[in-house]
Amino acid sequence: MAPKFSAKSLDLLSSGRGADRLRLFKADLREEGSFDEAVRGCDGVFHVAASMEFHVAGDEDNENYVQRNIIDPAIEGTLNLLTSCSKSNTVKRVVFTSSISTLTAKDTAGKWRQVVDETCQTPIDHVWNTKPPGWIYVLSKRLTEEAAFKYAKDNGIDLISVITTTVAGAFLTSSVPSSIQVLLSPITGDTKFFSILSAVNARMGSIALVHIDDICDAHIFLMEQTRAEGRYICCAHSCVWSQLINHLVEEYPCSNVQRLAEEKQGSISPEISSKKLRDMGFKYKHSIKDMISETITCCLDQGFLPHVKSKCH
């Protein structure tokens, strides 16, 4: 759809480095040919747009509604963009933003894997059958990525998928990004987003994090690396639930932090491996402490979090 930018957002866009070369186009993901003009003459395209639908209304919580109104539009929008790229005759590579929701740390027997890599995909049938918290988003990303790779293979498009983990760090948007609301849900008390974070922890055995700067750099890095192919996990660090809570409380001391009874999975949680990306030469710049600190500082400055004066334990 056509972007709806506030005056503040437009000011931010126009004041950044390279703003003199920034052009905005009106487009609709569901309209075929809508991106023809935007990609014309481009060498590379980043497809980062996605609906962050975690829940639907109770009377709409059924497979037909979700397929028709969320999954199909997501797939259609991606294929429309890829079609425009094919027609351009100039686009050499498309970098697609995927999600850690497309992966699972459990094998087909429900046992924890030691290492989670790009091949450990979430079984589609299992998601349809169990419908865990956030299942709509999981299916949307998983099926859209699958359709994108099939189209790319059939039409000779060089497609790279960046599997983003939970994104942290400062943000420029006028509203708080969903990933930030998920990450901070143990201290905000938002039950909807807390259920998403809990589901991620249950599926992965830990919470994998990446700074917004690192994920942006990874997209550019993979666009430029001629040897890049397939899917890449972008995970700087991961921490078990208790470690995440400790990091959050250290930066934002509060008395009502939500905790979780962790599942027993052995002494070592599964490694969410970014080896494939690191082996290409990519280096992460931000620690967990940096990510949590910058996230909370930004939310305090934006008024999303109230200031606290006393530390709790």
Interatomic CA distance for residues 165 and 208, integer angstroms: 6
Cβ-based burial of 279 (10 A; exposed 0-12, middle 13-18, buried ≥19): exposed
b or e along 170-187 (b: 16 or more beta carbons within 10 Å of the residue's beta carbon)? bbeeeebbebbbbbbbbb
On the CB side of 279, CA atoms within 13 Å amount to: 9
Whether 111 is catalytic is no
Q: Please give the backbone phi and psi of residue 209, each rounded to the nearest 5 degrees, phi first.
A: -125, 150
Interatomic CA distance for residues 162 and 276, integer angstroms: 11
Per annotation, catalytic residue among 106, 141, 153, 289: 141
| C-alpha distances out from residue 156 to 80, 83, 148, 188, Å | 15, 11, 12, 46
First and final C-alpha spacing in the chain: 46
* Cβ neighbours for 51, distance < 8 A, ≥ 6 positions apart: 70, 73, 74, 140
- Reference 117, options 130, 131, 127, 107; nearest CA is 107
Q: Name the residues annotated as catalytic.
A: 141
